[in-house]
Amino acid sequence: MEAWRLLVAAAGALVAGALGSAVGLVLGTLRLPLVLLAASSPSAAAGTNIAISAAAAGAGGWRHAREGRVAWGVVVWMTPPSLAGAVVGGLYGHAVPERALLG
């Protein structure tokens, strides 16, 4: 993997992470093309992007929670079905054709 690809992807990830945390979105759709530049395949880029999004969301969520900007009742109700959906998506992600991942 070429260093310039990693640098471009990292710079874009920094921008997406900052913007996403500020507005309450993970912005993986902005990051995915950059991850694709650095990853070995579209399916690897998709999985890698989800992992990066989880880390970014955790960091941003922690900061928002410290500032009192988290509705914990909503978190309690929406987390279980969100996790279940994510598990199902992860289990069936291999079935998505790589061409479909490229749009």
Question: Each residue of 65-92: pLDDT tens digit?
Answer: 999 999 999 999 999 999 999 999 999 9
Query: How confident is the model over 24-64, as pLDDT tens digits?
Result: 777 888 889 999 999 989 999 999 999 999 999 999 999 99
Query: How confident is the model over 7-23, as pLDDT tens digits?
Result: 988 888 888 888 887 77
Number of domains forming the structure of the chain: 1
Residue 75 lies in a domain: no
Q: How far apart are CA 98 and CA 14, in angstroms?
A: 26
Share of the chain above pLDDT 70, in %: 99
Q: How far apart are CA 11 and CA 25, in angstroms?
A: 18
What's the pLDDT score for residue 73?
93
Chain centroid to Cα 75, Å, comes to 18
Query: Domain range spanning residue 58?
Result: 3-70+97-101
Per-residue tokens: 40: 């070995």
Query: How confident is the model over 54-67, as pLDDT tens digits?
Result: 999 999 999 999 99
Residue 8 lies in a domain: yes
What's the pLDDT score for residue 80?
93
The pLDDT of residue 1 is above 80: no
Residue 49 lies in a domain: yes
Residue 57 lies in a domain: yes
> For the whole model, what pTM was predicted?
0.79
Residue 79 lies in a domain: no
Do the Cβ atoms of 11 and 33 come closer than 8 Å? no
Closest CA relative to residue 50, chosen from 10, 90, 17, 84: 90
Per-residue tokens: 99: 């061409």
Chain centroid to Cα 19, Å, comes to 13
Do the Cβ atoms of 19 and 65 come closer than 8 Å? no
